[in-house]
Chains A and B, each alone.
Chain A
Amino acid sequence: MAQLRKKSDFVGDTVQLEDVGLRYADGPEIFSNVSLAIPQSSFYFLTGPSGAGKTSLLSLMYLAKRPTRGRLKLFGDDVTDAKRSRLPAIRRRLGVVFQDFRLLEHMTAFDNVALPLRIAKVSEATVEKNVTELLKWVGLEEFMQARPSVLSGGQQQRIAIARAVVHRPKLILADEPTGNVDDTIAFRLMQLFVELHKLGTSVIIATHNEHLVSRFAFPRLHLKAGTLTAMPPATGAES
């Protein structure tokens, strides 16, 4: 269960970072020399205090930024300098939950969740079936035709999660996905991620909710002062 590996160990993992550093413009490096390997079908928490760089690290993985240093591989494919035209195909294997949701305001909840499927040109019948099913699962079937702005923070969050998983991604990157809901709903949403993980999806959840982390027996990557440390699963938690 070792998460931090030497360069020579990089093979067949979902995400591989090799001596990665990231800086914004002329600022200092947010983190440096981060090396990690996320094996297939694994589940990790990414923890650390606010401002430690969790969101930044995830944004490298969902290809919104490129590392300023080091190498990054996704699904065994080196994307450090990959041509832009290659990125959409890789992104379609990812599911991303943003900390601030980023729902499209001009669309209904249904259309927001349907977005990844429609971009991938999935048939409208399948879209209808899968999106409806998923919205029921997250308890929002009554709000399918609602605009995000009329929904509560917790409801918006569930739509954001539904959008991230609707196309059965190989890797889910969730940034504080339970930040706006009470513990009961947070636990229910975690169950969704756990189920997807059991179906073979890799999941990385960034959170600073220690309570949540302690309830699940998953390993964690802890980011602090620009350094990433691997930590074993919480003992006595369910898995």
Chain B
Amino acid sequence: MIALRSELPLKGDTSSRFVVWLVMVLVFMASIALTTNAYIGALLFHWNQSVTGTLTIQIPVMLDAKDPASTATTERVLDVLNRHPAVERATAVPREKVTELLKPWFGAGEAVADLPLPVLVDVRLSTSEPSAINAVSNSVQSTAPGAVIDDHRAWLNRVIGLAEGLGAIAITAMALVTIALGLTIVFATRASLAEFAQVIDVLHVVGAKDGYIAGQFARRALVQSLIGGGAGLLLYAPTLGFIAWLASRIEPGILPDISFPASHWVVLAALPFLAGLIATITANVTVRRALSAKV
């Protein structure tokens, strides 16, 4: 076990504990950033899935909902849609459901019952071709001029924009965490190089190679990162649980139930090792560069 013998008293040196704590915080932050990113990605996928191939048509009716004219228009639109080859199914949203949706704003009383509401038609298309969407849109327009056709794209694009912004922030956070880890290791390693300058001189005189000395620092950085990284993940687990609990208290439907792919957990579990790899390489390079300036 010669390779594991340490000639440098690195265990008790001042920078040791500092590195462990810092790697813990960094891995914790990285895991939160990764989870946020993965969650937003999954959410977006979910929304995209549920919105693709659907249209919502608003038939504006200023009169009372029981007005025969509006009922007739709705019937005609539904008829046209259901005979259209690009349409799988078209259904009018029941008035009760629309009033239900408006309850939070108008309350449950008579006010809503008397409101002149537009009729909403949910359309499921058999294709998501833009040309088909246009064709459906045109036939609806000619049947009910003034109908508003929404393919949810504009909304989805804004959500995608937000998600991409958040994703960029997560990636920036990861990059900053990596840089912080690298700098921490550089400074901690330089501090112990100074602290053990005498010991290192003796090791050189008895014929130690720079790589041998660098290896001892690198091994120490690896161990510290693994300990700190493991602690960071231990801290992450209850945090994730807490967030999940907070989310579970929100009305169902607003945030869909999302389960992360196995790869997400693999990446998270790999974080301490990734930190270890960065730390090992950084410590090694730092020591070799510092020593190469010697005689």
Which A residues are within 8 Å of any B CB, using their own CB?
A: 62-66, 84-85, 87-89, 91-92, 94, 96, 102, 104, 106-107, 115-116, 118-121, 124, 163
Contact = CB atoms under 8 A, between A and B. Distances in A.
B39 interface: no
Nearest to B8: A106
A63 B9 CA distance: 24
B287 to A, nearest CB: 13
A104 B7 contact: yes
A107 B203 CA distance: 13
A62 B205 contact: yes
Contacts of A118: 2, 5, 7
A102 B207 CA distance: 15
B199 A91 contact: no
B207 A64 contact: no
Contacts of B257: none
B210 A84 contact: yes
Given A63-B295, A66-B295, A102-B201, A119 B210 contact: no
A62 B201 CA distance: 11
Interface size class of B (residues with CB under 8 A): 20 to 34
A102 B198 contact: yes
Given A102-B202, A115-B7, A120 B295 contact: no
A91 B7 contact: no
A118 B210 CA distance: 15
A119 B292 CA distance: 19
A116 B207 contact: yes
A63 B207 CA distance: 10
13 contacts: A84-B292, A85-B209, A88-B207, A102-B198, A102-B201, A102-B205, A104-B7, A104-B199, A107-B7, A115-B203, A118-B7, A119-B7, A121-B2
Contact of B206 (A121, A124, A163): A163
For B9, B206, B207, B212, the residue with the greatest tally of chain A CB atoms inside 10 Å of its CB is B206
A79 to B, nearest CB: 10
Given A84-B292, A84-B295, A124 B2 contact: yes
Nearest to B209: A88
A84 B294 contact: yes
A155 to B, nearest CB: 18
B208 interface: yes
B204 interface: yes
Nearest to A163: B206
A91 B204 contact: yes
Interface string B208-252: 111010000000000000000000000000000000000000000
